[in-house]
Amino acid sequence: MSQFLNKFYYGGIAGINDIGAVSYYANIKIMDLWGLASNDVFKAKMGNYYNTEYLDKILKKNKIELLIIYDSWFFGDKSLPGNWLKAGYWEIRNNEACAESRIYFYAKDSTCLYQLKRNLNVYSKELPADIDFSINN
């Protein structure tokens, strides 16, 4: 993910919920949707007001255009806002290191979605052999 972000979103900002190596290797600003590295999210979770509506406000406030997340971490009253568009996913075969095998890419609108899909398609040729990918139609 860090190489993808450096290639296409260098110096930009993304919402991510498993910041791990991305926070170390990618030259981007990260909004940590899990709350470990973003105080606003952490406070919302501790204050029990982290929900879809709050998430929508904070994504807009921080001008986030790209999300890279585990879908299963966002459900019920903590679902992603409905306006986010799924571009596709990467899946690690025989995953042993990440919290989940499949990571999803979302764009905030149709313009960002077009660009994200193009970037994912271009970068797919550089993915390691043990990474499967799918780009939504």
Task: Return the domain boundaries, the chain.
Answer: 2-135
pLDDT (0 to 100) of residue 15: 92
Residue 99's identity, in one-letter code, is A
- pLDDT, residue 41, reads 87
Helices (H), the chain: 2-9, 20-25, 39-46, 52-61, 110-123
pLDDT classification of 89: cutoffs 50, 70, 90: very high
User: What is the secondary structure of 81-108 as a DSSP string?
Assistant: PTT-EEEEEEEETT--SSS-SEEEEEES
Q: What is the pLDDT of residues 4-18, one digit of tens each?
A: 999 999 999 999 987
Q: What is the pLDDT of residue 99?
A: 65
